[in-house]
Structure 1
């Protein structure tokens, strides 16, 4: 299942309201049982979907577990993620691969997603550095501020969101490609 980057072009909001059942059924890189057991984000019922470009959250009971549910082509796709263990680094700041926000190095995490199909069963993963709190849309809208100064992006919000969703789609392209063999 591949999604050309141009297919993510859509009018904000990108994600229509999702219920628990639709979220759980969207996961492509874990078993149905794992999808049924994963912890959904707190406050899902009261979420303002008009400002949700993709749904990303970390499991409060197991912080290394995270989840991403995003528009992908004409559907919504969910992927289970695993955050790498934090290591002290000499790097002072890092860039989110999705939204482009510059953060203190501790506020960006390496997230790995198991690939779909035989590749995933063989242990193949895809990783990317993303806002540790998966709140990219809030940073784009100025509703959350990083600890590190960021240059002002004067592009219209719709263009910045489109750019972010294209980056998410590229990541999902990698996750949904079964390159075993």
Structure 2
């Protein structure tokens, strides 16, 4: 992923208003992010732990989603799998819900996906971050194929959020 500026990130949101995008918390350490190892940039809002944000590049332009997460206590003891990168965690996967873009979102329609709570899927797939014993299933896929699968899963989720019909 190419490095993004704060302004590029704020203007990329597809499921919130310009005012909401202007007020949300963007990471201050953008220059220090491992951009070459990221398929998407994800972060949690430090002022509102139930809010998360995700930015990816599609059709040569950034697309960003505002997400809400579930912090249910029952997830802390159950082993769950991320729907994007297929990493399993004990207490490290959250249901993230995105309001749909456009009129559907204005009516309150939303779509959810189970994602690594720290939004570090790209690093787990590449083996740059360890989720613990048994977190990555033994597969015959190459790292590049795992990256492609993660990107395809993210694209499918983004398509559901931005679908107009």
Please indicate, yes or no, whether the TM-score normalized by the shorter chain is above 0.5: yes
Residue of 51, 66, 69 corresponding to 2:55: 69
Which residue number corresponds to residue 113 of structure 1? Answer: 98
140, 144, 147: which is aligned to 1:161? Answer: 147
Runs of 4+ in 1 over 4 A off after TM superposition: none
What are the Cα deviations for residues 100-155 of structure 1, in whole angstroms up to 9, with x where unaligned?
11111x11000000001110001000000000000001111212111341323342
TM-score by length of 1: 0.85
* 1:93 equivalenced with 2:73 (yes/no): no
Counterparts of residues 18-167 of structure 1 (less than 5 Å):
18-88=4-74, 92-104=78-90, 106-149=91-134, 150-167=136-153
Structure 2 residue aligned with 1:17: 3
8 Å CA contact 1:71–1:77 kept in 2: the answer is: yes
Hey, what's the Cα distance between the residues in 2 that align with 1:130 and 1:148? 18
- 1:74-95 alpha-carbon deviations (Å, 9 max, x no partner): 3221010000231315973111
Change beyond 3 A, Cα 1:107–1:89: closer
Distance of 2:71 and 2:30 partners within structure 1: 27
For structure 2, the residue ranges without an aligned partner over 5 or more in a row are: none
Task: Please say which of residues 38-47 and 27-36 is displaced more in the overlay.
Answer: 38-47
How big is the alpha-carbon RMSD for the aligned residues of Structure 1 and Structure 2?
Answer: 1.6
How far apart, CA to CA, are the structure 2 residues paired with 1:76 and 1:177? Answer: 17
Instruction: Give TM-score scaled by structure 2 length.
Output: 0.92
Which of the pair has the greater relative contact order for Cα pairs under 8 Å at 6+ separation? Answer: 1
Task: Report which stretch shifted further, 143-152 or 126-135.
Answer: 143-152
